Chain A
């Protein structure tokens, strides 16, 4: 039997590739069989990028999203990122960053990540919500958490020492950038302003983020 659907691992995480000529019912059946046979392989919250809208009409897309989310896979996240945008210029501006975004599209996560949920992405990640204790974001690029960060954020996970972590409220006990791991002091004041962490001279430095009028942080 020819494979009508393939889950491809790429630099940008998992990508769903469909055979355009195959019957959609067959695609769904094969996808279900695949997911059933590998339930333990996919961690809940793993992001899957869907094929572009041109290939899959909205109602079929809905069905795919429903099916994938039934297995704990988050696909709406990848959908939020238009597939063919020049290196996510909008996100870069939003993150208030001069540094170019390394390979891979930025991933926009429009929800709070709860304990046990983990997002691994090669590229930058923007979380429109909190990062709760026990949740993790591992990105080869920059990380932006617009809410409170109590979980683990690892920016530049593939060694990019220029990566930054920008956080609405930094309450995490630990932060990782490239191959550096820093631990918060045991007695920590809880800040209520956005902060950015970056590596300066081989040490992680955390300072208030540069907030401008009309910025994402200004509510």
Chain B
């Protein structure tokens, strides 16, 4: 076995800001770049990642089966239907967060990092046991927030908790930005958010209706080049792979008639 892979946890504190969507899209993005990647759903009892990935009907074993020793790790890994290098380790649905402990998660991540280039962990909302489990084995953290005061508050708390666990320098993704609202001053802008959180920004995802469609279809949006969020996810993947100096996309107010026409005709 060659180099050991990197374990990245996707976390936010607040629910509904797009952790699972981000995990699914970043994971698929890594696979698009030819990397071996596994997505770990750490949201035991409320599993979603399998649905977003469209792999629900293939689940036989889950994460708790692995930590309990009911099956081997490889038996629980589900290969994605589109990409050969993309795998999912689903969460158990019939158990809860206390079914695993941080030590077990740490070992699991270590084992997965032997086999994969990237291990992406989808963290549950909250700061309790589930959060502690999810971050236990992570080498680095990606914080997802939305331009809302409540989400930024929770992100701040999470950064503090990560620091006290010795996990410094998390990266920030601001999700669901609506450039037009920011321009009008109706939405927090990136500077406002960064002033409070003071961590390095790794990407901005524009609000995109296609995310709803893709989630319901079980097909991550990053695959669809016409989706506005797709390019943003791809850029984040490249930055996570080491292209730190890749510039952030300029936010455009894509509501003009020309933009819509272009979108209809697909050029």
Contacts and interface: CB of A to CB of B under 8 A. Distances in A.
Contacts of B153: 115, 133-134
Contacts of A16: none
Given A115-B153, A116-B161, A134-B153, A150 B196 contact: yes
B164 A115 contact: no
B156 interface: yes
Given A130-B198, A132-B196, A115 B160 contact: yes
Nearest to A129: B198
Contacts of B165: 70, 72
B157 interface: yes
Contacts of A174: none
Contact of B157 (A66, A112, A115, A148): A115
Contacts of B198: 112, 130
B159 interface: yes
A44 B156 contact: no
B152 to A, nearest CB: 9
Interface string B231-242: 000000000000
Contact of A45 (B154, B159, B160, B195): B160
Contacts of B166: 66, 69-70
A74 B157 CA distance: 16
A45 B196 contact: no
Interface in B144-183: 153-154, 156-157, 159-161, 163-166
A72 B156 contact: no
Q: How large is the interface on A (under 10, 10 to 19, 20 to 34, 35 or more residues)?
A: 20 to 34
B160 A116 contact: yes
A61 interface: no
A48 to B, nearest CB: 13
B98 to A, nearest CB: 16
A116 B156 CA distance: 9
Contact of A116 (B157, B195, B196): B157
A113 B195 CA distance: 14
A131 B71 CA distance: 48
Interface in A54-95: 66, 69-70, 72, 74
A116 B164 CA distance: 12
A114 interface: yes
Contacts of A134: 153, 156-157
A127 to B, nearest CB: 14
Interface string A102-125: 000000000011111100000000
A150 B160 CA distance: 15
A72 B157 contact: no
Contacts of A44: 160-161, 164
Which of B166, B196, B198 has the most chain A CB atoms inside 10 A of its CB?
A: B196
Contacts of A114: 156-157, 159-160, 163
Nearest to A69: B166
Nearest to A116: B157
A148 B195 CA distance: 9
Contacts of A116: 157, 160-161
A116 B159 CA distance: 10
A45 B156 contact: no
Contacts of A66: 166
A148 B166 CA distance: 24
A115 B196 CA distance: 10
A42 to B, nearest CB: 11
A69 B166 CA distance: 7
**Shortest 5 CB-CB contacts between residues of A and residues of B:** A114-B160, A72-B164, A115-B157, A115-B156, A116-B157
Interface of A: 44-45, 66, 69-70, 72, 74, 112-117, 130, 132-135, 148, 150
Given A44-B161, A115-B160, A134-B156, 12 more contacts: A44-B160, A44-B164, A69-B166, A70-B166, A72-B161, A113-B160, A115-B153, A116-B157, A130-B196, A132-B156, A132-B196, A134-B153
19 contacts: A44-B164, A45-B160, A69-B164, A72-B164, A72-B165, A74-B164, A115-B154, A115-B156, A115-B157, A116-B160, A116-B161, A117-B160, A130-B198, A132-B196, A133-B153, A133-B156, A134-B153, A134-B156, A148-B195
